[in-house]
């Protein structure tokens, strides 16, 4: 592994931990040349489907794009980075388990929205406002009315 600070390829692993629900290994490394430490993550490369956009274009799956859109929805919300990463892991797992070669942005958005509703209603409404193109306050009212729990119309299961 090449050091991101000095570029030397002599590094050693100081600590390894399993994270991401056992689907990722986080390694703490130290450069033998400059002595600085950095973190790397090792994850199984899953075969994720291509994403079919609204205009029928196909794109390769991008975890970074998904993380970015979810982070925007969670700005100034009490959602940890770890919770965000676990959410993205669950979405990727659901898409992989579908076994499809291609999925629409609608399917991806619905998976994200399901996960966000369970995590934070405000972040979910922010995501939904873009994903579902809210045009008025009535769109927000309808969204919140359909949420489970004390803030929404439906009672949570159980």
Query: Any idea where the domains of the chain sit in the sequence?
Result: 11-43, 50-145
Query: How far apart are the C-alpha atoms of 135 and 72, rounded to whole Å?
Result: 19
Q: Please give the C-alpha separations between residue 10 and each of 30, 92, 132, 133, in angstroms, as whole numbers.
A: 9, 33, 49, 50
Is residue 59 within 8 A of residue 51, CB to CB? The reply is: yes
Query: What is the pLDDT, as a whole number, of residue 41?
Result: 87
Query: What is the pLDDT, as a whole number, of residue 146?
Result: 87
Q: Summarize the chain as % helix, strand, coil (round to 5).
A: 40, 20, 40
What pTM was computed for the model? 0.66
- What interhelical angle do 63-73 and 81-98 show, nearest 10? 130
Query: How far apart are the C-alpha atoms of 120 and 116, rounded to whole Å?
Result: 6
Query: What is the pLDDT, as a whole number, of residue 48?
Result: 87
Closest CA to 14 of 1, 27, 25, 3: 27
Kindly report, residue by residue over 3-54, the tens digit of the pLDDT.
Answer: 999 999 999 999 999 876 677 899 999 999 999 999 998 876 667 899 999 9
Is residue 143 within 8 A of residue 97, CB to CB? The reply is: no
Query: What is the pLDDT, as a whole number, of residue 125?
Result: 94
Kindly report, residue by residue over 99-136, the tens digit of the pLDDT.
Answer: 899 999 999 999 999 999 999 999 999 999 999 999 99
**What does 13-31 look like in DSSP terms, one character per residue?**
EEEEEEETTTTEEEEEEEE
For 81-137, give the secondary structure using H, E and C. Answer: HHHHHHHHHHHHHHHHHHCCCEEEHHHHHHHHHHHHHHHCHHHHHHHHHHHCCCCCH
């Amino acid at each position: 592994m090449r050091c991101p600070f000095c570029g030397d390829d002599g590094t050693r692993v100081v600590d390894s931990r399993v994270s991401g629900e056992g689907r990722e290994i986080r390694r703490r490394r130290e450069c033998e040349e400059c002595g600085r430490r950095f973190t790397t993550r090792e994850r199984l490369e899953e075969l994720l489907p291509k994403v079919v956009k609204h205009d029928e274009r196909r794109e390769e799956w991008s975890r970074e794009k998904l993380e970015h859109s979810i982070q925007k929805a969670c700005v100034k919300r009490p959602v940890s980075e770890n919770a965000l990463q676990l959410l993205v892991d669950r979405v990727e797992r659901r898409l992989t388990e579908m076994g499809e070669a291609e999925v629409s942005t609608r399917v991806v958005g619905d998976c994200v929205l399901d996960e966000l509703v369970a995590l934070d209603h405000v972040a979910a409404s922010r995501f939904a406002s873009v994903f579902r193109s809210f045009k008025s306050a009535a769109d927000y009212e309808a969204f919140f009315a359909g949420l489970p729990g004390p803030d929404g119309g439906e009672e949570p299961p159980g």
